[in-house]
Amino acid sequence: MHLTKDEEHIFDGERGWANQICMKILVRLGELFKAQKLIPIDSAHISGVSYKTLGDAPIEFLQALADAGGRTRVKATLNPQSLDPKYLLTRLPKAITNKQLTILKQFDKMGVTQSLTCTPYYLVKPEHSSHLAWAESSAVIYANSVLGACTNREGGPSALAAAIIGKTPDYGMHVSENRRPNISVNVETKLQDETEFGALGILLGRILADKIPVIQGLENASESDLKQLSAALGSTGMTNMFHLIQDSHQIKKEKLQKINVETQDIKRTIESLTTASTQKPDLIFIGCPHCSRNELAKIACLAQGKKIKPQAELWVCTSRHVKQQAAADVEKIEGSGGHVLTDVCTIVSWTEMLGIKTIMTNSAKTAHYAPTLSKAETILAPLTECLKTAFQG
Ligand code: F3S
């Protein structure tokens, strides 16, 4: 890999240990994927923030990096943590919340914005063709496919190293020829809601491995639907982007291998993601990935004048940024007895410690992970059904 003089100096430790170790992480990664050089990035998005998923071991490394003067050179944001600043902070054991706060403190020292969201694109929308170093698969796929930015699926350490150096190795999704589709998917059924888009993602992730699909038949997709598709696709496969196409002639010209998705495939996938035997969830969870302003407005509209059933809880998860902008909608949701939580989600928190055994959600990604990561049974259904279950009457 070719390094500039300045990069060599960093590599040799002339700018301190923190910069040197970050440069070494990036160079190692670049060599592994045969990158020729490092390229500047506009932003980094760092995962591995929740104490639940991170554990104890990396905390020392984060502390060492922060103490040795590791500071971000580009805009850097954080994925969700394991609690929110109010509701869960008081419900989870002190030993856990203290560890989580220690982790956040290290990122804060290094200059990482405490965004604590998996939808960093609602804070600052990346420019088309800009280069990023983002972790969090749902955001990576959304950025590449919907926003037209370029990012590989980083791990927490490589995203942090890129934030501190301000660069990333030039390979994978940063190289235009690697972004071309190599399989064609024809969705033969009109998907009805966000849950069906999520189910399509789960299904394609399992089939495609790391292939890049060009998908035909999603003309009715909203940005929220594509967010669900991105999140689910990243959960079951290694695909980093998809293309949407309206024109079947284009696909014929490309002579790609073709697969069809039918109504039954979607139905079966949704059924497989519902593991609960009861129709009475302890928790109804909306906001995987974190809600946009439009989604909060829709939930508020459905929540207005209603009351949550006494035996159920409603969590609506979003970012601090979006919550701040949607005060009136938040009031309506909270007026119904729901909780609009920032910084967190069910998967990266300890719902099992709160006695939650059954989670109902409109997110295929959450339904995919909850049985293993939250030890919960799942009911996967669209937003309207989730809210019908949550409210009385
Ligand atoms: Fe975000 Fe948690 Fe889902 S981090 S993508 S809400 S699993």
Task: Please indicate whether residue 231, judged by its CB atom, sits closer than 6 Å to ligand 1.
Answer: yes
Task: Please indicate whether residue 345, judged by its CB atom, sits closer than 6 Å to ligand 1.
Answer: yes
All domains in the chain, ordered by first residue: 5-176 (3.30.499), 181-272 (3.40.1060), 274-392 (3.30.499.10)
Task: Please indicate whether residue 347, judged by its CB atom, sits closer than 6 Å to ligand 1.
Answer: yes
Distance 186 CA to ligand 1 centre (A): 28
Q: What is the pLDDT of residue 4?
A: 98
Q: Whose CA is nearest to atom 5 of ligand 1?
A: 289
Query: Which 8-state DSSP code applies to residue 126?
Result: P
Q: DSSP states of 288-346 as a string?
A: EEEE-HHHHHHHHHHHTT--B-TT-EEEEEE-HHHHHHTHHHHHHHHHTT-EEEES--T
Task: Please indicate whether residue 135, judged by its CB atom, sits closer than 6 Å to ligand 1.
Answer: no
Q: What is the pLDDT of residue 260?
A: 97
Distance 348 CA to ligand 1 centre (A): 7
Picking from 258, 299, 282, 49, the residue whose alpha carbon sits closest to that of residue 163 is 49
Q: What is the pLDDT of residue 278?
A: 87
**CA 348 to ligand 1: nearest atom:** 2
Tell me the average confidence (pLDDT) per consecutive run of 10 residues in the chain, 393 residues long.
98 98 98 98 97 94 97 98 94 95 98 98 97 98 98 98 98 97 96 98 95 94 98 97 79 81 98 94 97 98 95 96 98 97 97 96 98 98 97 83
Residue pair 116/320 in contact (Cβ under 8 Å)? The answer is yes
Task: Please indicate whether residue 62, judged by its CB atom, sits closer than 6 Å to ligand 1.
Answer: no
Query: Which 8-state DSSP code applies to residue 176?
Result: G
- The residue type found at 173 is M
In sequence order, the 6+-apart residues with CB closer than 8 A to the CB of 32 are none
Distance 275 CA to ligand 1 centre (A): 19
Q: What is the pLDDT of residue 392?
A: 85
Pocket test for ligand 1, best of 317, 345, 362 (most atoms within 8 A of CB): 345
Residue pair 217/187 in contact (Cβ under 8 Å)? The answer is yes
Residue pair 216/149 in contact (Cβ under 8 Å)? The answer is no
Pocket test for ligand 1, best of 366, 369, 372, 374 (most atoms within 8 A of CB): 366
Distance 68 CA to ligand 1 centre (A): 31
**CA 139 to ligand 1: nearest atom:** 5
Pocket test for ligand 1, best of 288, 342, 373 (most atoms within 8 A of CB): 288
Q: CA angle, corner 28, sides to 178 and 141, nearest 5?
A: 35
Pocket test for ligand 1, best of 88, 141, 292, 348 (most atoms within 8 A of CB): 348
Task: Please indicate whether residue 289, judged by its CB atom, sits closer than 6 Å to ligand 1.
Answer: yes
Distance 318 CA to ligand 1 centre (A): 10
Query: Where would I find the H helices in the chain?
Result: 5-11, 17-32, 51-54, 57-67, 94-109, 137-145, 156-165, 194-208, 223-236, 248-254, 263-272, 293-303, 320-325, 327-335, 364-373, 383-390
Q: Whose CA is nearest to atom 7 of ligand 1?
A: 347
Q: Whose CA is nearest to atom 3 of ligand 1?
A: 288
Pocket test for ligand 1, best of 79, 202, 347 (most atoms within 8 A of CB): 347
Task: Please indicate whether residue 173, judged by its CB atom, sits closer than 6 Å to ligand 1.
Answer: no
Q: What is the pLDDT of residue 25?
A: 98
Q: Whose CA is nearest to atom 6 of ligand 1?
A: 288
